[in-house]
Structure 1
Amino acid sequence: MGEKNGKRAQVTIFIIVAIMIVVVILGLIYLMNRGGEAVRPSDLGPRDFIAGCVGDVVRDSVDKMLENGGEILPSQAISYQGNEWGYLCYQADFYQGCYNIHPMLELQIESEIERDTSVGVQSCFNSMREDFENRGYDVKGGATEYSVDLLPGYVKVSLKKDIEISSESGAKSFNDFSLEVVSPIYNLVRVTREIVNSESQFCYFEYNGYMLLYPEYDIRRVDYRDSKMYRVIDRRSGDEFKFAVRSCAFAPGI
């Protein structure tokens, strides 16, 4: 009798262990499948929704600034390898140092980003409103206060807007939607300013020596026609700031 009870106990234990193994396997499969799912907008709160949307809009604009010498579209440029390289320092005459044509480059870029993204930022709030209204909420919004600041290592996006989201169960108010977008653009602009100042004063910038002092940057220069094409690259991120300089150009035939 005791032997039969022992066997039954063993069988019961085996069954319990098998069930536990199956449950664990099913749980892992479920978690793996969830890990591959994209987060839907309706899964996000208003702050997360705006942070994701506005972050993408600002990042796209920062990429334009890096590509076009700090402007949405270069105002004065030279065509090189199928792309327009914006001049930051220019002198039309020969043998003379260039003039810094964008002396307030950092402030200019901040203004350009704000101008380039203002419509996109408002579209983010419109999309958020539509998403919450589709879920049965009532959404009210006030005026938008928006500004951009370049800071070491990131772009600070100051974004204020009174938003009230309500339903039958109650209402919640939101005001501050500020965020930070990681980017080396501030540091790249700082290096660019040093290059432009040197080209303006001395018609030359010792970029090889500069890289020895600051190995986090890779500075490349190509002489094309009577201009210099500069690429200032942040080694860590791979982001680069492109611009052109025409300074102390030699007359043809010399």
Structure 2
Amino acid sequence: MDLPRSFTIRESSHRIHNPFTGEKLATLGRALGPAPGARVLDLASGSGEMLCTWARDHRITGTGVDISTVFTARARDRARELGVADRITFVHGDASDHVAEAPVDIAACIGATWIGGGVPGTVRLLESSLRPGGTILIGEPFWRREPPDQEAVEACHAEKREDFASLAGLIEQFGALGYHVVEMVLADQDSWDRYRAAQWLNIRRWLDGNPDDELAPTLREELDTDPVRYARYEREYLGWGVFALMRR
């Protein structure tokens, strides 16, 4: 049980595996203001940057669950680096059926709602770990601009236009699930650039060191084509944000 090797190559330098900068992650933490000792569950926690920095800055406690052995190991290293390993635990496992042993104050899935088969299923999964009155955090794409055609839709990693909502439509979806949106921090084009362009440099450096690897032809083709596709479509049409939800 692990992520494909191509993914860990592509994001080998990333501490945050979505179009969020460290500054935006800190903004979200300050906006929510979790109390010292607040319990946080982060499903699909990646390299653990949210839990580790919030443990340092807000003294939360928490658990992260992720399917990647590479990112889980990196998250544990980060916790030790920041001196918070006594408050944060990282588990290698399938987040799609993980329920906390005791109710948590914040239940999060930042950019991986596929673990619940989409937004509704992920919200229900997070609910199963949340204390009454707690907060859910969901990171999710939305259409920043209406895509003009099917080519643009597919270039933004969707099969059909309806796979993503507009920003207003996504907030309406949260409402239909029974939640108020009480905070949100959105990616901008610069944070998208920092996320996606860093992937290209990671791929190029890996290719330079591994020209004969079996993955090299696929990743070389990606590096040949992805920057133009990103600039033409994804950067223009796809938004992304983290939304804080509380039960109505």
TM-score using structure 1 length: 0.25
Identify, as 1 or 2, the structure richer in strand: 1
The alignment's TM-score, normalised by the length of structure 2, stands at 0.25
